[in-house]
Chains A and B, each alone.
Chain A
Amino acid sequence: GESVGLHLPTLSVQEGDNSIINCAYSNSASDYFIWYKQESGKGPQFIIDIRSNMDKRQGQRVTVLLNKTVKHLSLQIAATQPGDSAVYFCAENSGGSNYKLTFGKGTLLTVNP
């Protein structure tokens, strides 16, 4: 698998701004994608998911966009709040019906008050 160093991609935004976090996935056969939020000292927390037969899905303050042509996923957070500060991971289901998740590189989001 790929190796990343200790330095995560970072995104710093002002409170109230919109945030966009991007992710490139690896398996063109993946049929399901999830965004997770991970705060320091905690396990990943589900944010939103999307199936491969969709290109957009909206939740509360969050939107996920899927571009299968270029194997790209993005998470948009509206009106970002300090509590949104965390590491965000995208994950793809690469195991078919066994739901085996492969996680991408994380992005550290810092929201400045």
Chain B
Amino acid sequence: EAGVAQSPRYKIIEKRQSVAFWCNPISGHATLYWYQQILGQGPKLLIQFQNNGVVDDSQLPKDRFSAERLKGVDSTLKIQPAKLEDSAVYLCASSLPMLRETFFGPGTRLTVL
């Protein structure tokens, strides 16, 4: 079974630039999550989708972050404009509805200079 795919794996940008990350969940997984993991900390949930609808985006900084999941499959997370404190690993994860095991992708490491 293929895992959660993410791209790019690494990205370096300057502050105030824009960046986008892409995620392809495991086939058939209706639930998709984006997490932010700052160095030395546990992942923090940014947004949760059920199919193409948002379930929880309470911790998403909506003034600069946006996410979409068109057609309930792939998802993109965008940051515009980026700040220095956005430097982190952005993890995408997916799961089947009502099933508890969540599978994580390898993450995208973002460095904002």
Contacts and interface: CB of A to CB of B under 8 A. Distances in A.
Interface of A: 1, 3-8, 32, 34, 41-46, 49, 89, 91, 93, 95, 97-106
| Size category of the binding interface on chain B | 20 to 34
B42 interface: yes
B41 A4 contact: yes
A4 B40 contact: yes
B56 A89 contact: no
Contacts of B44: 1, 103
Contacts of A6: 39-40
B40 A99 contact: no
Chain A interface SS verdict (over half): loop
Contact of A46 (B4, B43, B50, B101): B101
B70 to A, nearest CB: 21
Contacts of B55: 98
Interface of B: 4, 31, 33, 39-45, 48, 50, 55-56, 91, 93, 95, 98, 100-107
A89 B48 contact: no
A71 B53 CA distance: 33
Given A6-B40, A99-B95, 13 more contacts: A4-B40, A5-B40, A42-B107, A43-B4, A43-B106, A44-B91, A44-B104, A89-B43, A101-B33, A103-B44, A104-B42, A105-B41, A106-B42
Nearest to A93: B100
A41 B106 contact: yes
B40 A43 contact: no
A105 B44 CA distance: 11
